[in-house]
Amino acid sequence: MKKVVLKDEKRLQGGIHKCKEVPWCNYKTTDLRNLLRHIQTKHRYKRLKKCLYCDYQTTSTEKLKSHKKEHKGEVLAKHHCTVCNLAFKNSEGFANHLNERHPASDSFELIQTAFSKQLRVYCRNVRQKAADTTCLWSVFQDFKLLCRGISAKEFPVFRTNICMYGVFEKSSPDDDEEEKETEVFVLKSTHFTVTPKSKLKKLWSAVISQFDDRIENLLMKGSGYTLTEVLKIHVEISEKRALKYACQNPQFKADIATEAVDGKKHLINVQNSKYNCFLSCLAFHFMQKKYPSTKFSLNMMKDASETERYYDGFINSLNFEGTGIYPPYQKPVKAVQIKKLLKANEKLLENIQVNIFGLLSTEKQVIYAYETGLGKRESENVLNLLSIPLQNNEDLKKGEKAKTQQHLVVISDLDAFMTQKTGKKSNRTRRKLCLKCFNFFKNDSNLKKHKLSCYNPRGQAQTMPEKG
């Protein structure tokens, strides 16, 4: 937590100190210590420490220790199961609860689904006494069979993260009592992308090393908790659709699909380009920034054949080393390759942020987010793209369904375009979209206030009422 420095706050006239942490805070005081306490508790988010035995809360560790002495003569629950939100006074009751509610199992079972079964949670009760996480290797074969089965039958490519529920015992040098406190903690890994060719053994070893680091951090912080038993493992799996854009086939034309999209006046389709659609849209974006309707008209910029010299110069200036994109730059581009390209050309592309939205189908005018925040997040230089499903011209004219490919077009005004997609016919007011949580707001001021909490890494922003 950032330490408050006295020289950061200037004293106002009349010996009054005013808070300047956020523009909307009107807190004033004549005592500098009260101002520092206000900043620490209201703006710097000093966490409250809670008593395990009652509802007492405080930001001071010393006050919490003195408060715990008040409970010394009471018979308290020292064993907590956070999974079931239950507490037990003795170890026998806690052990009986674990045996009844969390018995050991031999395989992973599906326990929860969400988002039309696109997100799934599998569970296996391990129930092994251990002082470290090496016992998790006994679960690896079952995890491997689970991943291979999902890749073959359900999702070819998916994201997964593993949660370990462990029983931790608290010990301290000042504790003279025989029975020690125990509690169930949850340790979560980072997200991994699994493909049919992924090396799952390396993935599992990375997960175990992450769990070991988190357990070591608990000890280094002086919590006194040590692992005594691995209770169970949760595997969360969600489908990941790989984006791929192919529109160089002469049988495919973007104009037919673009004509069927509501709000097409806010879309710009780059035509007659010899490069793939993503590079063409990227070149158009920077051409529009460099020549804002002065040297070239919008129609000339949209037609790559008329400004071919600029498109060739821009794309040849990019660094494609290590991106997997090779000349003549016509093959389909994946989202992973886009990320590598933006990272290799940060200075040239001016820390651009690319957001890709998807059109579900031309029949159902539904927009959803494909990939957002590619490149530099929270950048002022933003390129918004729409992925449109394309079909063969003959199939489109006949009304037959066929395998679709994706084509990218530039969204010139995202707020106006999304209003066309989400607003009712009777209410076409333009709304502002937050690109992080995808919520709409009525005006810029409401969006600006929302971003203070949405873009805050701690996830919360406190607004105190005015005095009076």
**Those residues with Cβ within 8 angstroms of residue 182's Cβ, 6 or more apart along the chain or in another chain:** 78, 79, 80, 91, 94, 167, 168, 169, 170, 228
Tens-level pLDDT at each residue, the chain (468 residues): 444 444 444 444 457 888 887 777 888 888 888 888 788 777 765 566 777 667 787 777 788 888 877 776 555 667 777 777 677 777 788 888 888 888 888 888 888 887 667 788 999 988 888 777 888 898 999 999 999 888 888 887 888 889 999 888 877 555 545 567 788 888 888 888 887 878 899 999 999 988 888 888 877 666 677 888 888 899 999 887 644 444 544 444 555 556 666 677 888 888 778 888 888 889 888 888 877 765 567 777 777 778 888 888 888 899 988 888 888 887 778 888 888 899 899 888 888 888 888 776 555 566 666 677 777 777 788 898 888 776 544 554 555 545 556 788 888 888 877 775 554 454 555 677 777 766 777 788 888 877 777 766 544 445 555 655
Bridge partners, residue 358, by sequence? 368, 387
**Those residues with Cβ within 8 angstroms of residue 454's Cβ, 6 or more apart along the chain or in another chain:** 434, 436, 437
Given a contact cutoff of 8 angstroms between Cβ atoms, the answer to whether 259 and 362 are in contact is: no
Alpha-carbon distance values, 392 to 27, 95, 267, 309, 362 (Å): 65, 64, 21, 30, 14
Residues 106 and 126: their CA atoms lie apart, in Å, by 8
Residues 207 and 191: their CA atoms lie apart, in Å, by 10
Which class in CATH covers the domain with range 244-428? Answer: alpha beta
Which pTM does this prediction carry?
A: 0.47
How do the domains of the chain map onto residue ranges?
A: 6-46, 77-239, 244-428
Best CA proximity match to 157, nearest among 122, 205, 197: 197
CA 200 from chain center: how many Å? 23
Which phi and psi (to 5°) does residue 62 adopt? -65, -40
DSSP string, 145-186: HHHHHHHHHT-SSEEEEEEEEEEEEE--TT---SSPEEEEEE
Other C-beta atoms lying within 10 Å of the C-beta of residue 35: 22
Residues 159 and 236: their CA atoms lie apart, in Å, by 8
Bridge partners, residue 118, by sequence? none
For Cα atoms 453, 458, 461, give the angle at the middle one, nearest 5 degrees.
35
Residues 132 and 146: their CA atoms lie apart, in Å, by 24
